[in-house]
Amino acid sequence: MGDSLGDPLRRYHATGRARPARTARILYLGLLAGPLLFAGVALALLPPQTPLDQPILLYTPFALAAVLFAGGLIIRTRIPQRTTAQSEEEWWRVNLPRALMVWSLFEGPALFGVAMYLTLGTAVPLLVTGVGLAMLLLNSPNRLIEG
């Protein structure tokens, strides 16, 4: 099975070229950039719309954010602090999947808030976007590794 996909990946990781800490930072910046760019484009290029009179839709981003932010915070508590005996690369190799899940749970409502801003024509859902971005900033790679 020399042609399988797993063999090149195993060789790549075995040579030491895999750098999970760098990968984590790249993924984090990508997840942070998405809502920022989406909100920036929405606010700068799209004209204000007449707000829709749909109060249930106005509450949807807040309900979604409450559930996903809580899930992200619960998973965040399951990420251990790096020990002195553990290198940064070793720590990221073990904890990158959890960190990525936490960041994704914070990014999702941020994007949804911008989408609801575009849909509803009111800036109220952008509060969810702001909180999501704040949660991402408060859980940056450096802060996760420090515990």
The pLDDT tens digits of the residues spanning 132-145 come to: 999 999 999 999 98
Residue whose structure tokens are 């309900």: 63
Q: Give the CA count within 13 Å in the CB-facing half-sphere of 28.
A: 22
Q: What is the pLDDT of residue 66?
A: 97
Q: Are 54 and 126 in contact (CB under 8 A)?
A: no
- Count H helices, E strands: the chain? 6, 0
| The two structure tokens encoding residue 103 | 């960041």
CA dist 77 and 89 (Å) reads 20
Count the neighbouring beta carbons within 10 Å of the beta carbon of residue 117.
24
Examine the pLDDT at 14 and tell me if it is beyond 70: no
This prediction's pTM: 0.83
Query: How far apart are alpha carbons 49 and 123 in whole angstroms?
Result: 10
73-109 pLDDT, tens digit per residue, is: 999 999 999 999 999 999 999 999 999 999 999 999 9
| Least confident window among 20-29, 49-58, 121-130, 136-145 | 49-58
* Structure token pair of residue 104: 């994704």
